[in-house]
């Protein structure tokens, strides 16, 4: 059915006559360990996926025709690679689009342009823009402390530099600048909000991402300045010595109402398809600015390559299902829709890749105390790839709502995030940022771990017999 299988059949017909002598039995399939080791050195799938989708599709803004082209591309790719039960499962979602490229001009006292991009779910200034005085706040807490109404007719600016961490934990500290500042400023009467990008680089590339407005607060225009531009604005405040700084801001995003999106799924069917499957997740959508290479083309590439690699060691016991979720960036709509549609189909264990393509340095599970033998088995198997066993309780990625809803088993394969926030949600999220050596290490580790999990005959959560009924069904 698939192209590779057809090609192979054609090749078989073309075997010359002297090949009629009795064929030797086929060599045994290589071991999972051998295949994982080989994945460090060569890669037939992961680069092909992420190079292909970033080149042939590019950006895949959630809910748009570009995301739909991404799904069609991914469906064709999975089918060509021999995945079974490939489908694009539709759902409806509220869709926001960024509009024209925005602009932020300082009108006075130091006229010049600052690089800006709108934040997801923020409002529009209209094409004519708004011109207003900028009021600076160092932190979200400072903004929170501003008296009610004090921002009336003003543009709020929130500065809050993000620093670099391997585990990405700084996102929790810097992220609120993007997540809540626009809503707080709007509720205090601000016309619009601009923030310093939640990112660790020094390029003229703003970091977009979603922002939230409290119930009942009308979305105002919200934008992120690139870090060099934010630094420039702050120097302007220092040099203005109290003179007002006036900005003309033009941001024209639009809400399209409900549009169709979808989740792409595909399977490596197991020897016992009645056993709960192993679910590997990523997301297919991206912000419009970049090409969605590290966020999250690489994640889909890694999980699909691992599933294919595991099958090369022989048909696994359990089915391995890949879920290329839609519309993660703008509100986890695909993750929610998948859980809603499939909540009654118990998942054995869920894993997600959505933190770039740099090396995996630690793994965590949420069954370290309930099934220590399996946790230890994985720890021993991944040690040779430089991955240490963590003691955190795995929480799963954004697209694993179904597993969390089922209170199921989770494994987190933690990637090195040191340079992730240089690129996250920027125009710079492009293929060239992926280091093929580190990408292969991801595939090797995923191959090893997924292979163990997909061949696990006992309950992943307990190590005991697999429950007859899905856990989610009992007691409900």
* 227 makes contact with its own copies (CB under 8 A): yes
From CA 269, how far away is CA 81, in angstroms rounded? 13
Residues 254-313 that bind its own copies (CB under 8 A): 290-291
Residue 200 Cβ, how far from its own copies at the closest point, in Å? 13
Q: Is 470 in the site for its own copies (CB under 8 A)?
A: no
Site map (CB under 8 A) of its own copies, residues 156-195, x = contact: ----------------------------------------
Question: d(Cα 255, Cα 438) in Å, to the nearest integer?
Answer: 38
Q: Where are the alpha helices (DSSP H) in 42-189?
A: 46-56, 65-80, 140-145, 170-174, 176-179, 181-187
Residue 237 CB, shortest distance to its own copies, in Å, is 10
Query: With binding defined as CB under 8 A, does residue 231 bind its own copies?
Result: yes
Selected from 3, 4, 29, 56, the binder of its own copies by CB under 8 A is 56
Q: Which of residues 84-143 bind its own copies (CB under 8 A)?
A: 101, 109-113, 115
Residue 433 in the binding site for its own copies (CB under 8 A): yes
Instruction: Tell me which of 5, 202, 256, 457 binds its own copies, using CB under 8 A.
Output: 202
C-alpha to C-alpha distance for 275 and 324, rounded to whole angstroms: 22
Q: Which span (130-138, 211-219, 225-233, 316-324) binds its own copies, by CB under 8 A?
A: 225-233
Q: Point out which span in 119-127, 224-232, 334-342, 353-361 binds its own copies (CB under 8 A).
A: 224-232
Q: Cβ of residue 64: shortest distance to its own copies, in angstroms?
A: 12
Closer to its own copies at the Cβ: 232 or 418? 232
Q: What residues contact 81, with CB distance under 8 A and at least 6 apart? A: 2, 4, 45, 304, 308
Residues contacting its own copies: total by CB under 8 A: 37
Is residue 428 at the binding interface for its own copies, with CB under 8 A as the rule?
A: yes
Among 235, 254, 376, 407, binds its own copies (CB under 8 A): 235
Cβ 58 to its own copies, closest distance in Å? 3
375, 376, 377, 383 alpha-carbon torsion, rounded to 10°: 110
59 binds its own copies (CB under 8 A): yes
Of the candidate residues 432, 465, 468, 476, the single one contacting its own copies (CB under 8 A): 432
| SS3 of the chain: helix, strand, coil, percent, to 5 | 35, 20, 45
CA distances (Å), origin 262, targets 6, 69, 123: 29, 11, 25
CA distances from 368 to 222, 351, 358, 449 (A): 43, 15, 25, 15
CB of 111 to its own copies, least distance (A): 8
Burial class (CB in 10 A: 0-12, 13-18, 19+), 41: exposed
Contact between 239 and its own copies (CB under 8 A)? yes
> 362 or 424, CB closer to its own copies?
424
Hey, which residues does 224 pair with through a beta bridge? 117, 195
CA distances (Å), 330 to each of 99, 200, 262, 353, 431, in order? Answer: 15, 22, 13, 18, 22
Q: 372: Cβ–Cβ under 8 A, 6 or more apart, which residues?
A: none
Cα atoms in the Cβ-side hemisphere of radius 13 Å centred on 14: 6
Residues forming contacts to its own copies in the complex (CB under 8 A) are 51-52, 54-59, 66, 69, 101, 109-113, 115, 202-205, 227-228, 231-232, 235-236, 239, 290-291, 426-428, 430-433
């Amino acid at each position: 059915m698939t192209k590779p299988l057809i090609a192979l059949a054609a090749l078989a017909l073309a075997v010359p006559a002297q090949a009629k002598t009795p064929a030797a039995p086929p060599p045994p399939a290589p071991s999972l360990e051998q295949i994982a080791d080989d994945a460090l050195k060569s890669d037939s799938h992961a680069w092909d996926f992420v190079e292909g989708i970033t080149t042939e599709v590019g950006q895949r803004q959630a809910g748009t025709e570009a995301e739909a082209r991404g799904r069609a591309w991914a469906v064709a790719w999975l089918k060509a690679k021999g995945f079974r039960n490939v489908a694009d499962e539709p759902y409806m979602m509220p869709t926001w689009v960024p509009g024209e490229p925005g602009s932020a001009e300082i009108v006075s006292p130091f006229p010049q342009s600052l690089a800006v991009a709108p934040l997801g779910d923020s409002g529009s200034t209209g094409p004519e823009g708004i011109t207003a005085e900028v009021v600076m706040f160092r932190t979200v807490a400072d903004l929170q402390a501003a008296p009610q109404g004090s921002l009336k007719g003003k543009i709020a600016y929130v500065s809050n530099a993000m620093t670099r961490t391997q585990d990405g934990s700084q996102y929790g500290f810097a992220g609120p600048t993007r997540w809540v500042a626009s809503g707080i400023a709007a509720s205090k009467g601000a016309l619009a909000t601009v923030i310093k990008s939640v990112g660790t680089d020094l390029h003229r590339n703003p970091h977009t991402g979603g922002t939230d407005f409290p119930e009942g607060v009308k979305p105002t225009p919200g934008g992120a300045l690139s870090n060099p531009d934010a630094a420039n604005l702050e120097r302007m405040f220092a040099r203005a010595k109290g003179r007002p700084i006036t900005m003309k801001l033009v941001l024209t995003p639009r809400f399209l109402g409900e549009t169709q999106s979808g989740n792409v799924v595909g399977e490596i069917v197991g020897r016992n398809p009645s056993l709960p499957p192993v679910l590997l997740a990523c997301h297919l959508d991206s912000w419009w600015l970049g090409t969605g290479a590290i966020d999250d083309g690489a994640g889909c590439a890694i999980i699909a390559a691992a599933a294919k690699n595991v099958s090369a060691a022989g048909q696994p016991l359990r089915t391995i299902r890949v879920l290329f979720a839609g519309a993660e960036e703008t509100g986890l709509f695909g993750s929610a829709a998948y859980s809603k549609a499939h909540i009654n189909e118990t998942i054995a264990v869920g894993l997600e890749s959505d933190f770039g393509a740099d090396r995996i340095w630690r793994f965590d599970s949420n069954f370290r105390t309930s099934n220590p033998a399996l946790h230890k088995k994985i720890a021993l198997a991944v040690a040779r790839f430089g991955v240490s066993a963590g003691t955190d309780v795995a929480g799963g990625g954004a697209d694993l709502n179904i597993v969390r809803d089922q209170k199921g088993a989770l494994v987190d394969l933690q990637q090195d995030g040191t340079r992730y926030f240089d690129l996250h949600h920027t125009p710079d999220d492009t293929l060239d940022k992926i280091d093929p050596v580190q990408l292969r290490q991801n595939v090797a580790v995923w191959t090893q771990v997924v292979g163990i999990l997909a061949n696990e005959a006992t309950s992943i959560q307990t190590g005991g017999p697999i429950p007859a009924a899905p856990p989610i069904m009992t007691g409900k």
